[in-house]
Amino acid sequence: MESLRRNILLACLFVLAGAPFSSYAEDHPFITVATTNSALKSGLLDFLVPSFTRSTGIQVYVAAEGTRHALESGELGECDVVLVHDRSRELQFMQNGFGSVRRDVMYNDYILVGPEDDPAKIQDMHDASAALRKIADVKALFISRGDMSATDLAERTIWTEAVGRQAPDRASWHLETGSSLQQTLVTAASMNGYAFADRATWVKFSARGHLRVVVDGDPRLIDQYAAILVNPARHPQVKSALGMTFIAWLTSPEGQAMIASYKLDGEQVFFPDYKP
């Protein structure tokens, strides 16, 4: 976001100096991508964008605001591309005419983390729903985001499968932070509770305390990401050609190979899966 502010300031200086903004924009083509916190804070976009810019000359300014807000930005025409991970919301976005092109790009996965003493005895389980039932049975402390983010909605889906509702009803052992995943993990670590996270954020998270991964490998925990071009028919200011260049690069052999090569602490956390 600092680079975005610097370039907006630079554009303003061009205008004040008498240079038309259109000439600046032609010489410095750029797009704005609204995305999830996990795609940015994992370091993935910082890894991918420089290669895209070198290949195309197009700058990418990223606004990481969570899937819900990213899609809202797309609905308002405030960005050119959204890169998000909530299929049901994405399909509704497309159905409502806010997006013109949608492509699956890659996936991450969700995990359950918990304390070393593991009071629910769910270590090494690969059925997230069964694991949450065991947590509920023993009333082990569980920390949720509770912010209606894509990650929070994914967790609520598993809770519904486990206990028949989206989350335990204000149970004393089930707390909601209403905050980011990082802050939720900080709370879980400080209180020695269980939490639901995506793997990329977990690997990047350093203040783990006594938390460790206790449940993973459930196919229902696949976390699919898609890139969507905001519909220029709805918002004429959308840079559709430049935005489509970005989406085409992400789904090209070069872009897919770059995604596969990105690692955190030696671990691959995003897996390309575009299928033409």
Find, among 10, 193, 42, 22, the residue nearest to 106 by Cα: 42
- Give burial (CB, 10 Å; 0-12/13-18/19+) of 166: middle
Superfamily of 2-107+224-272 according to CATH: Periplasmic binding protein-like II (3.40.190.10)
| Tokens encoding 58 | 């197009």
- State the pLDDT at residue 1: 38
Q: List the domain boundaries for the chain.
A: 2-107+224-272, 109-221
Condensed to tens digits (0 to 9), the pLDDT of residues 86-134 reads 999 999 999 999 999 999 999 999 999 999 999 999 999 999 999 999 9
The predicted-structure confidence for 147-177, as pLDDT tens digits, reads as follows 999 999 999 999 999 998 767 766 789 999 9
Tokens of 88: 């049901």
Q: Is 3.90.940.20 the CATH number for 109-221?
A: no
Q: Do domains 2-107+224-272 and 109-221 have the same CATH topology?
A: yes
